[in-house]
Structure formats: C-alpha cells, structure tokens
Structure 1
Amino acid sequence: MNKLGVIGGLGPMATAYFYQLVVQMTDAASDQEHIETIIYSRPSTPDRTKFILGKSDEDPMPFLLDAGRKLKRQGANVIAIPCITAHYFQKRLEKTLGTRVIHAIEETGKYLKSKGITVVGIMATDGTVESRLFQTILEKYGIACVIPSEKNQAKVMHIIYDDVKSGRPVEMDLFEEVSDKLFAQGAQTVLLGCTELSLIKRDYQIGKGFLDVMEVLARQAVLACGKLKEEYNNLITE
C-alpha cells in the first residue's frame, strides 16, 4: 500500500476536512485497513493568490518544496495538496521531488469527461481563475468553462477570505447569486474550485449540480493508496 503525504495548512480547516474525506471514502473494515498518512501542516506558506497575481514577492514554492521533501523522507510516495490554487506549482513540485503529486484539476477533467459534462462553471480564487488553471486543463478534455463576472468574482473572493478563512458564517445569498448566474450561462455543473468552498458544501445545503474538486482529490488519493467505497464514484450533487 502506498503511503500518502499531505502538504497542508493552506488553510488548516480545509486540510482537516480533506483528511476526513480520505477516511470516509476508504473502504476499510478496521483501523489497520486505513491509509497510512503523514500530514505536514504549513500555514506559514505565503498566500498563493497574491503571489500568482504579482501582488506579493513571497514565493510559496520553497515552502511547498520543503514540506514535500520532509514528507518524502518519511516515506510518502504519493502527495496531495488540499489547496487548489497551489496546483499552479504542481508540475515544478512533482518534477523537483521526483514523487507523484496528485493533480486535482487534471483528475477533475478526467472525471467530468467520464460523466459526459461539456460545460462547467468555475468558483475559485482570483489566482486560480486568472492563471487559467482550470480552463487550460479542461479544454484538453473538450470541456468549456464559464467564469463569474468581475463583480461576481469579487463575491467569491469575499466568501473565501472574509467568511470561510475568517471563521465567519457564510453569506449564502452571495454564493447562490454567483452559482445561479453560472448555471444560467449554460454550466451543466459548477465546480467548487477552492478548498474553502468545499467547507460550504460540507456545512450547507447547496443543491444539485455541484462538483467539489477537493472530493475529486480525496477520491484519487484513496484510489492511489487504498480501496475506494463504491458510493464515492458519483461526486456530483443530486
């Protein structure tokens, strides 16, 4: 069985939920059948969005690389990062470490294609949207992407940073305004493309047609390191 390493703390609550998902998704009849997991929580890692957008000179890459090397030294041979924006650094990180780093967005593309989805809406950070992380990869799978207007993208960032990351109640009216507009623009599925948004799905009723990218990441981690419960083959909310 492969040993899972997790570069966490980006943010801490999302990391805790990611591990919960891995445990929930694993088909195990005893403690001993669960996946051996090493979590390195590194909340001091600089803000990914600010760096990607050129609003900060603090490069997250050395922090991610240091965490990855420590996990590898402890025997991790599959690594997951429960922060979607951090996947901007995935290719460099994987190449430098020489260890598999699961690419949540690539796996999302494969999953959507297997379900026959051709148009998706994206709710994610400015860094993820503006760097075209989703758009570039999903287009390879024949999937078109709809993104929020500038006004609605500001609402998404407010929800992520001022609500979830700040530990405040989520303004669900804003969440619904953004997602409803994406569906109206033709999205068959709306992607929760930030791990803070995953926490909204955990805590609130959000309706049908949503795919949590962190659930895709957790599912792939289980497939790589253990045995998946069959019920987690369908992740799009109904």
Structure 2
Amino acid sequence: MRTLGLLGGMSAESTTLYYQELNRLVRERLGGLHSAQLLLWSVDFAGIAEMQAAGDWHGAGAALADAARRLEVAGAQAILICANTMHLVADQVQAAVAVPVIHIADATADAVRAAGCSRPLLLATKFTMEKDFYRGRLAAQGVEAIVPDQVDRDRLHAIIYDELCQGVISAASKTEVLAMIAKAPEVDCVIFGCTEIGLLLAPGDLSVPVVDTALVHALAGVEFALS
C-alpha cells in the first residue's frame, strides 16, 4: 500500500471526513483490520483564509507547497489537497514535489461522467464558482458546470465560511441551499464543490445525482494507494 500525504485543515471539519472515508474505503477493499497509510499536515486555516480574502494566492500556495515538501520528505507517495478552493494553487504545489498531486476536479469530472451527466450545478465557495481553475478543468473533460446567481453565490460563500467551516450546521441554511438548487436551470446533477457541503446536505435531499467531492477525491486517493 502506498502512503498518502494529506494537506488538511481547510477546514478541519472536512479533513475529518477525509480521514474517516480513506480508512473506511481501505478497510472495505482489504478487509479485517486494514486501514490507510496516511500522513497529515493540518494548516491553521485562519492564515490561509486571510490570504484567500486578500487575493494573495501565491502566498497561500507557498504555504501549501512547503507543507507538501515536508509530507514528501516524510514518505508521502502522493498528495491530496483536502479542499476544492485551494486547488487554485495545485500547480504551485505540484511544482514543489516529485510525487503526484491527485486533483479533486479530475476525480469530480470522472464521477459526473460515470453518473451519465454533463451539466452539473456547482455549489462551492465564490472562488471555486467564479474562477476558471476549477470550472475550466471540468470543461476540458466535457463537464459544463453551472453556478447559482450572484446573490446566491454570495450567500453560499458566507454559509461555508461563517457556518460550515466552524462546525455550525443550520436547518435554515439547508433550506436556503435547497432553494438555490431548486431554481437552477436545466442541470442533470449537483456537485458538492466545497468539501464541507456534505455536512449540510445529503444525496437523499435531492432528486438528481450528487457528486460529493470530498468522497470522490478520497476514492481517487485510495485507488492510487492500492494500485
């Protein structure tokens, strides 16, 4: 089994999900007392979030690149950035290490296509919904992601940072997000494009297929680890 290096803490709430899912999947594949071989570098998200808000993506990327190098030295054979938004700096992280960075958007595109879909609604931070690093990578793989309107994007961003990343799960916010989904035009599935959205919504809440990026990213990591 190969060792995976996790760049976590963005947020700590969803990093917990990664740890649980990676171990669950390895146990499911190998049985018995098997679990994943993992190294975790968990950042202090406050500093990263400040750099995001200030548009200092190079600084945020440098912080993650340094952590990735440390994981590689410690024995990681692949890196998972346990967040969608911070894949904006995935190329900077990849340039810092010789081991592969398993990209969350690639795992997401694979899952969308496997569901027989091509026009998903992308629910995520404003950075992920509005910048090309994510939607462009999906489009290159035949997936045309649709995003909510500006008002809903602003509100969803606030729910993610002010609530979900801080462990606050609100029934009122769930109702708001379901309303955003209900008014989306002509989509055939929904991407939980922030690794915390699965804390708020479940696939059973929706009538269309759901791709939870945290789960499909963890699956891609396990496929690499056990290949």
**Cα gap change, 1:139/1:57 in structure 2, threshold over 3 Å: closer, same or farther?**
closer
Letter in 1 for 2:36: I
1:146-165 matches, cutoff 5 A: 146-165=146-165
The 1-side partners of 2:51 and 2:219 are apart by 29
**Cα gap change, 1:53/1:139 in structure 2, threshold over 3 Å: closer, same or farther?**
farther
Conserved? CA contact 2:126–2:157, under 8 Å: yes
Aligned to 1:5: 5
1:22-171 matches, cutoff 5 A: 22-26=22-26, 27-31=29-33, 33-44=34-45, 46-47=47-48, 51=51, 54-55=54-55, 59-170=59-170, 171=173
Aligned to 2:177: 175
Q: Deviations over 1:66-114 (max 9, x none)?
A: 2111111111011111110011111221122121111010221123223
Instruction: Using the TM superposition, name which of 117-126 and 169-178 deviates more.
Output: 169-178
Conserved? CA contact 1:113–1:141, under 8 Å: no
The 2-side partners of 1:46 and 1:58 are apart by 13
The 2-side partners of 1:41 and 1:81 are apart by 10
Instruction: Using the TM superposition, name which of 128-137 and 11-20 deviates more.
Output: 128-137
Secondary structure of 2:145's counterpart equals: strand
Unaligned runs of 5+ in 1: 228-238
Conserved? CA contact 2:62–2:92, under 8 Å: no
Aligned to 1:207: 206
1:25 Cα deviation (Å)? 1.7
Aligned to 1:190: 190
Conserved? CA contact 2:191–2:210, under 8 Å: yes
Conserved? CA contact 1:17–1:199, under 8 Å: no
Q: How many pairs align?
A: 222
Please tell me the root mean square deviation across aligned C-alpha atoms, in Å. Answer: 2.2
**Cα gap change, 1:159/1:4 in structure 2, threshold over 3 Å: closer, same or farther?**
same
Secondary structure of 2:166's counterpart equals: coil
Conserved? CA contact 1:35–1:226, under 8 Å: no
The 2-side partners of 1:214 and 1:179 are apart by 19
Structure with the largest fraction of helix: 2
1:52 Cα deviation (Å)? 5.3
Unaligned runs of 5+ in 2: none
**Cα gap change, 1:59/1:46 in structure 2, threshold over 3 Å: closer, same or farther?**
farther
Letter in 1 for 2:190: V
The 2-side partners of 1:18 and 1:43 are apart by 17
The 2-side partners of 1:4 and 1:56 are apart by 27
The 2-side partners of 1:166 and 1:44 are apart by 11
The 2-side partners of 1:71 and 1:225 are apart by 15
**Cα gap change, 1:138/1:56 in structure 2, threshold over 3 Å: closer, same or farther?**
closer
Letter in 1 for 2:48: D
Conserved? CA contact 1:84–1:193, under 8 Å: yes
Conserved? CA contact 1:9–1:42, under 8 Å: yes
Conserved? CA contact 2:174–2:201, under 8 Å: no
1:53 Cα deviation (Å)? 6.3
**Cα gap change, 1:22/1:95 in structure 2, threshold over 3 Å: closer, same or farther?**
same
Question: How does the TM-score come out when normalised to structure 1?
Answer: 0.85
The 2-side partners of 1:223 and 1:41 are apart by 23
Q: Deviations over 1:23-47 (max 9, x none)?
A: 122223233x322111111124633
